[in-house]
């Protein structure tokens, strides 16, 4: 992608409404634009990031046998009346009446819809367990949206739902999702802290939040320092959950040897048994021909929130520092003197794009300083400057966004350079 084709307009100053760094940087780098309170347009750069995160989440869900599907954003109120949540959910739920005066709502979550759907499609215990998910926009009419996409009203969420024959197997499923979530957040370059959670409006008896440590996080955290010093992927569910962690009002103030911090909740998993299968009459026949109500769980990841959380984790005074696999562009080619190196840049753009997918070339007629500043602001992992060093001795200057290290390579060396070996 050439910058001349990109809808992009960097801001030197932060719009005044942005209070936290991720919101400021997302506005300054043309990732998002606010449409109205808590509702945003995702501009090309932001949308690329969102898709990249979504794909990492998707990959990990598919890996555990979860079926991707797509449920509607608008739902009918009748299922919610059956589950009892039409009244329980309160003003957070955006309610809409259609022209026939039927009561509709913009889905804040999908337990009702998926349970109803599942009961139509699976009638035998042989169809269990089943995992289903979608990545869809949700709407919750937050009392006070804030911090940009961190707490928007409209947000993109991956929500998965599991159906198991009994409590025991539902708990096994819960553990599978638990481990998969750790892997997902680690793949996103983050250090997740699983925290035992209150179950809130979703209900249930077993629930964990996945928190990312950040000064600007909305939750207060207290946790065993061992949780962040060890590779959680090598530990069992039991080992991990035996380590202390708690958030907000669940924190035991008398406990010592804990780290106190703040976190951003990027995932939340629930096991809630038959809370929805019973009222919605979702059942299968067991091996004795008797009705059994599946034990369910739901598993959410805040995809749009993750864009902000990752920026909170990876930035410096010059801008964002995207992890390689999340960055909107992996490499940014910059030319200095106008015109003279365009052909070299275009060829390189073509070759690197074939290899890495999203690569950009800043072909704007602007000074070098401005282009470098924009590259740093956007947070592109690598920049390749084709300038003085190229004209003098055919060297390309490769700069690492994270540590600022520069190397000078020939064109063929650049082609074999391991750009993917980058940490933010």
Partner RNA sequence: CGGGGAGUAGCUCAGUCUGGUAGAGUGUCUGCUUUGGGAGCAGAAAGUCGCAGGUUCGAGUCCUGUCUCCCCGACCA
- Applying CB under 7 A, the residues found at the interface with RNA are 9-17, 19, 28, 34, 36-38, 92, 140, 142-147, 149-153, 155, 157, 198, 200-202, 209, 218-219, 265-268, 300-302, 304-305, 318, 336-338, 367-370, 372-374, 376-377, 385, 387-390, 397, 399, 406
* Nearer to RNA (CB atom), residue 119 or residue 219: 219
Min dist. Cβ of residue 317 to RNA (A):
10
Instruction: Specify whether the CB–CB gap between 305 and 154 falls below 8 A.
Output: no
* Nearer to RNA (CB atom), residue 17 or residue 205: 17
Instruction: Specify whether the CB–CB gap between 80 and 188 falls below 8 A.
Output: no
- CA angle (37, 192, 301) in 5-degree steps: 45
* Nearer to RNA (CB atom), residue 165 or residue 331: 331
- If DSSP codes are grouped into helix, strand and coil, which group holds residue 124? strand
Helix (H) or strand (E) holding 374: helix 368-378
* Nearer to RNA (CB atom), residue 28 or residue 48: 28
Min dist. Cβ of residue 192 to RNA (A):
12
Q: Which residues contact 37 (CB under 8 A, 6 or more apart)?
A: 145, 153
Q: Which residues contact 401 (CB under 8 A, 6 or more apart)?
A: 321, 375, 376, 379, 380, 381, 382, 383, 424
Which residue is associated with the tokens 């994270």? 402
Among 197, 306, 329, 292, smallest CA distance to 250 is for: 197
Min dist. Cβ of residue 162 to RNA (A):
16
For 257, the token pair is 């040897």
Min dist. Cβ of residue 101 to RNA (A):
23
In angstroms, rounded to a whole number, what is the distance separating the alpha carbons of residues 271 and 206? Answer: 5
* Nearer to RNA (CB atom), residue 128 or residue 386: 386
- If DSSP codes are grouped into helix, strand and coil, which group holds residue 239? helix
- If DSSP codes are grouped into helix, strand and coil, which group holds residue 332? strand
Min dist. Cβ of residue 410 to RNA (A):
14
Min dist. Cβ of residue 217 to RNA (A):
10
* Nearer to RNA (CB atom), residue 230 or residue 336: 336
* Nearer to RNA (CB atom), residue 290 or residue 406: 406
Min dist. Cβ of residue 337 to RNA (A):
4
Question: Within a 13 Å sphere around the CA of 323, how many CA atoms are in the beta-carbon half?
Answer: 20
In angstroms, rounded to a whole number, what is the distance separating the alpha carbons of residues 3 and 275? Answer: 52
Whats the size of the chain, residue-wise? 424
Helix (H) or strand (E) holding 112: helix 111-121
Min dist. Cβ of residue 17 to RNA (A):
4
Min dist. Cβ of residue 229 to RNA (A):
24
In angstroms, rounded to a whole number, what is the distance separating the alpha carbons of residues 324 and 252? Answer: 38
């Amino acid at each position: 992608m050439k910058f001349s084709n990109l809808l992009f307009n960097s801001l030197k100053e932060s719009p005044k409404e942005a209070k936290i760094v991720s919101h400021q940087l997302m506005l300054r780098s043309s990732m998002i634009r606010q449409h109205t309170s808590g509702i945003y347009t995702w501009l090309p750069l932001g949308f690329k990031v969102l898709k990249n995160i979504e794909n990492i989440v998707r990959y990990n869900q598919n890996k555990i046998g979860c079926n991707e599907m797509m449920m509607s954003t608008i739902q009918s109120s009748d299922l919610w009346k059956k589950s009892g949540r039409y009244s329980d959910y309160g003003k957070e739920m955006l309610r809409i009446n259609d022209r026939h005066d039927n009561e509709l709502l913009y889905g804040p979550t999908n337990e009702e819809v998926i349970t109803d759907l599942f009961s139509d499609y699976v009638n035998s215990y042989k169809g269990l367990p089943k995992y289903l998910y979608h990545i869809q926009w949700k709407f919750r009419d937050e009392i006070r949206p804030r911090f940009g996409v961190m707490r928007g009203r409209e947000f993109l969420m991956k929500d998965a739902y599991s159906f198991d024959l009994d409590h025991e197997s539902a708990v096994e499923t819960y553990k599978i999702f638990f481990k998969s979530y750790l892997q997902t957040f680690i793949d996103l370059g983050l250090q997740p802290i699983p925290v035992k959670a209150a179950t809130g409006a979703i209900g249930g008896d077993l629930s964990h939040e996945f928190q990312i440590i950040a000064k600007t996080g909305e939750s207060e955290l207290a946790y065993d320092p061992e949780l962040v010093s060890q590779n959680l992927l090598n530990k069992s569910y039991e080992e991990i959950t035996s380590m202390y962690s708690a958030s907000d009002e669940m924190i035991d103030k008398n406990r010592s040897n804990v780290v106190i911090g703040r976190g951003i909740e990027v995932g939340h998993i629930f096991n809630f048994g038959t809370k929805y299968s019973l009222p919605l009459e979702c059942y299968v026949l067991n091996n004795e021909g008797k009705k059994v109500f599946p034990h369910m769980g739901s598993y959410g990841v805040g995809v749009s929130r993750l864009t902000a959380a990752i920026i909170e984790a990876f930035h410096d005074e010059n801008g964002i520092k995207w992890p390689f696999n999340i960055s909107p562009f992996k490499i940014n080619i910059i030319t200095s003197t106008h015109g003279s190196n365009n052909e070299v840049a275009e060829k390189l753009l073509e070759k690197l794009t074939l290899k890495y997918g999203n690569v950009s070339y800043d072909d704007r007629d602007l000074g070098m300083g401005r282009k470098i500043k924009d590259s740093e602001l956007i947070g592109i992992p690598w920049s390749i400057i084709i300038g003085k060093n190229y004209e003098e001795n055919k060297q390309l200057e490769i700069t690492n966004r994270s540590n600022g290290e520069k190397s000078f390579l020939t064109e063929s060396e650049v082609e074999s350079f391991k750009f993917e070996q980058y940490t933010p």
